[in-house]
Structure 1
Amino acid sequence: MDKKIISAQLSGRTIAVSDIHGHLDLFEQLLDKVHYSVQDNLIIIGDYVEKGEQILETIHRMQDLALCQNVYILNGNCEWAVLDMVYHSFHLKHYLNNVSYSIFHEVFRKHRIDYRQHEESTLKILAQLLLKEELVFIESCAVMLKTKEYIFVHAGIEDRLDFENSSLSSLLEQRYFMNGQHPLAQCVVVGHLPAANYHLYHIDNRIIIDENKRMISIDGGVGVKIVCQLNALIINQGYQTQYVRPFKRATIRKAYYPGICHHHKVTWPHYEVDVLKRQTEFSLCQKVYNKEKLSIKNEFLYLKNDQWYCKDDYIDYHVSVEVNDVVDVIDIYGQYAYIIKDHEVGWILKDCLMNM
């Protein structure tokens, strides 16, 4: 992939979205929610492919949107990986065997090709032929958009005035950009690392705006985390934010008051835990990397090579709810529901939910 950098002069309302990851329905809901029109500037900050179940449909939507004058589709590390597996590395078959959803799974399934019956070299040729237009489109996209006031890039820039000379790896896959700094007058808007990763004790997917550092992080974790949302940053004489979530809404029919609770969180990349005491619903565990104890729902625990793991980001907090509150239901696990009340993630008894 070329390190293509483009510049533009933007006027009017600008909407930035990142890390759609093949979730076209959520993306369309988000566009509706922000009342997107062709007069708006729309910037997709990479990772529109992989991880979701609508990858081909999503990339075709990107192709259509790119025909509009005020739309800028940027590439992220997932687009880079797709091109690398097709044209350079020899990891395609390994990748197919180890992920559930990819653009390759979709196109091979569409053409009734069993990838397990073919050699790596054959799969690469087939992918090049069957995804010819999609690959050309990905290759045509830039990795950075520069304006007078903003830099839009998937993962971040290096801390240097000649930021255009940042390595492609830095632009597309560096981690924890928001914890660093940069010397530019412009504000740098990124996706890539879910915003929830910056919170030590809460699961919070909202956009992070740090005006002092001139940094904004907008990835809501779709396709990566169980608890997620797709975010939109709206720039129009200030900042507004909007989001959609892939969960059903439910009304509370019975109040739940768990008493005083503390937030204990398991988060990437520290998923290793020791199980201290197995119990019916929640087991007492201890995080390996810092020895902090917490209760983990049994459905979130799994054993691999004699080591216990928590399967995803997790919070052990129990949420207080009142009758007629409306919540997002992430899922039901045993006698408990994992929910989001406003932006507070945690547990309640499932009997508190109406019609669940």
Structure 2
Amino acid sequence: MMNIVKVTLPEKCRIICVSDIHAHYDEFARLLRKCDYNNESDYLFILGDILEKGRQNIETLHFIQKLSHDKKCVCIKGNNDTMVSRMAFDDEKEKFLERLTYRPVNAYMQMAESIGITDFTTDFDNKRNAVNQKFAKELSFVSGLPTAIETEKHIFVHAGIENRTDWENSSEQFVLCAPWWIRSGHALDKYVVVGHFPTYNFARGKNTNLPIIDTDKRIIAVDGGCSVKSAGQINAFIITKDGESYSYDNVFEPSEPCEKCTIIKDYTAARHYSYLDYEKSDLEILGKSDGLVSVLDKHSGNSGLILENYIAQWGDGHYHGWTNLDAFVCVNKGETFCVYYKNEKYCYGIAQSGEVGMIPLDCVAVYKEKYV
């Protein structure tokens, strides 16, 4: 049975729900300030994947440990949070070293490097014991994270629950790793709030990283794609409770290296985006110009333009894209735009509205902030 934290909420309160921080301490801290988090009155639910993929594993972990001293803050486990425990306690040397080949920057190695250990090819057991001893409290905290939070009207898990009324008997593998879960559903009257899979991946994401609220399926998805999408963010999905009434809002913070720019002239997109399923897409290249590729998606039948560095041939022999087609966004003078990529004519990023896509490069001027 799952380790579930049951929370009884007061008559009035806010729940700030964050997922998939992925070792981005700076952005997470900015996000909490942006939504005026107050640990005395607000509940903070962190839906897993606090570690890995980013470069601030130790800072993020220590910050969340400190936040969790308050009972109103509950952090649950995500699939990426299991890696540090496996490296610390479960992996044989061969498996341990194999992990470093595909993820050399990870939470456990950052712990090791902080005490001067940079190589595990020799004296493996003694070095691992030294790291485990130094970070015993941190490793205990991560391995002891619960798998779900339950309130009167909501259930919070990392990836999803099995479609059964006794949801608490869902397997941990499913709860932490279920892909594309919001396309399926569940058997409960409560809303289930999840992270794990970026909302941009879904047509219902509407070309944004913003949360998806599916009232028919009673599912809320909040993963903003931090460290996963080419232009990602961390969402703070805010649930405001007033008696039996619940309202929803969202605040976001752009993630990963980006330039925060200001829009110097209005731009109205002449095209409307077409959703592209990155997994099922099968792109036929029709032509190239100005760093853009004209493609036909043989899976959906849609055609459009995509930046040439966001298309690649996979092992299945097909060309796949990982942004939507014709993803040009409208912006107004004076707004901000977070740039993740630019060529000689276009830049790609997150608009102030939350929409993700391209605008002409001459619409932006570099602002004073640069996130690296």
TM-score tier (shorter) = 0.7 to 0.9
Quote the Cα distance in structure 2 between the aligned partners of 1:293 and 1:230.
Answer: 30
In the comparison of the two structures, how many residue pairs are matched?
354
Quote the Cα distance in structure 2 between the aligned partners of 1:257 and 1:38.
Answer: 42
- Counterpart AA for 1:283: V
Structure 1 counterpart of 2:338: 328
Say which SS state the counterpart of residue 186 (structure 2) adopts: coil
Instruction: Please list, as runs of the form range in 1=range in 2, the aligned pairs for 1:113-192 lying within 5 A after superposition.
Output: 113-115=117-119, 117-118=121-122, 125=129, 127-192=131-196
- Counterparts in 2 of 1:9 and 1:169: CA distance versus 1, 3 Å: same
Checking the alignment, whether the CA contact within 8 Å between 1:265 and 1:316 is kept in structure 2 is no
Checking the alignment, whether the CA contact within 8 Å between 1:75 and 1:138 is kept in structure 2 is yes
Structure 2 counterpart of 1:207: 211
Checking the alignment, whether the CA contact within 8 Å between 2:193 and 2:221 is kept in structure 1 is yes
Quote the Cα distance in structure 1 between the aligned partners of 2:65 and 2:269.
Answer: 49
- Counterpart AA for 1:6: V
Structure 1 counterpart of 2:38: 37
Instruction: Please list, as runs of the form range in 1=range in 2, the aligned pairs for 1:1-356 lying within 5 A after superposition.
Output: 3-11=2-10, 12-39=13-40, 40-90=42-92, 91-115=95-119, 117-118=121-122, 125=129, 127-199=131-203, 202-237=206-241, 238-246=247-255, 247-257=258-268, 259=270, 261-270=271-280, 273-287=283-297, 289-290=299-300, 292-302=302-312, 312-341=322-351, 342-355=353-366
Quote the Cα distance in structure 1 between the aligned partners of 2:130 and 2:298.
Answer: 44
Say which SS state the counterpart of residue 55 (structure 2) adopts: coil
Say which SS state the counterpart of residue 63 (structure 2) adopts: helix
In the TM superposition, residue 173 of structure 1 has moved relative to its aligned partner by: 0.9
Checking the alignment, whether the CA contact within 8 Å between 1:158 and 1:166 is kept in structure 2 is yes
Quote the Cα distance in structure 2 between the aligned partners of 1:179 and 1:209.
Answer: 12
Checking the alignment, whether the CA contact within 8 Å between 1:75 and 1:154 is kept in structure 2 is yes
Gap runs ≥5 in structure 1: none
Checking the alignment, whether the CA contact within 8 Å between 1:74 and 1:142 is kept in structure 2 is yes
- Counterpart AA for 1:316: D
Say which SS state the counterpart of residue 225 (structure 2) adopts: coil
- Counterpart AA for 1:219: D
In the TM superposition, residue 202 of structure 1 has moved relative to its aligned partner by: 4.3
| Deviation per residue, 1:273-307 (Å, 9 max, x gap) | 45443444212334465565433323334567795
- Counterparts in 2 of 1:14 and 1:303: CA distance versus 1, 3 Å: closer
In the TM superposition, residue 59 of structure 1 has moved relative to its aligned partner by: 0.6
* Bigger mean CA offset, 90-99 vs 14-23: 90-99
- Counterparts in 2 of 1:287 and 1:122: CA distance versus 1, 3 Å: farther
Quote the Cα distance in structure 2 between the aligned partners of 1:258 and 1:184.
Answer: 41
Say which SS state the counterpart of residue 115 (structure 1) adopts: coil
Quote the Cα distance in structure 2 between the aligned partners of 1:75 and 1:310.
Answer: 31
| Deviation per residue, 1:83-103 (Å, 9 max, x gap) | 234333453322211125310
Say which SS state the counterpart of residue 97 (structure 2) adopts: helix
- Counterparts in 2 of 1:285 and 1:118: CA distance versus 1, 3 Å: farther
Quote the Cα distance in structure 1 between the aligned partners of 2:43 and 2:206.
Answer: 32
In the TM superposition, residue 264 of structure 1 has moved relative to its aligned partner by: 3.5
- Counterpart AA for 1:59: L
- Counterparts in 2 of 1:201 and 1:49: CA distance versus 1, 3 Å: closer
Say which SS state the counterpart of residue 249 (structure 1) adopts: strand
Question: Between the two proteins, what is the percent identity of the paired residues?
Answer: 29
- Counterparts in 2 of 1:257 and 1:157: CA distance versus 1, 3 Å: closer
Checking the alignment, whether the CA contact within 8 Å between 1:299 and 1:333 is kept in structure 2 is no
Quote the Cα distance in structure 1 between the aligned partners of 2:124 and 2:287.
Answer: 46
Quote the Cα distance in structure 1 between the aligned partners of 2:309 and 2:220.
Answer: 34
| Deviation per residue, 1:308-354 (Å, 9 max, x gap) | 75574454322344444443323322321113331332222212212
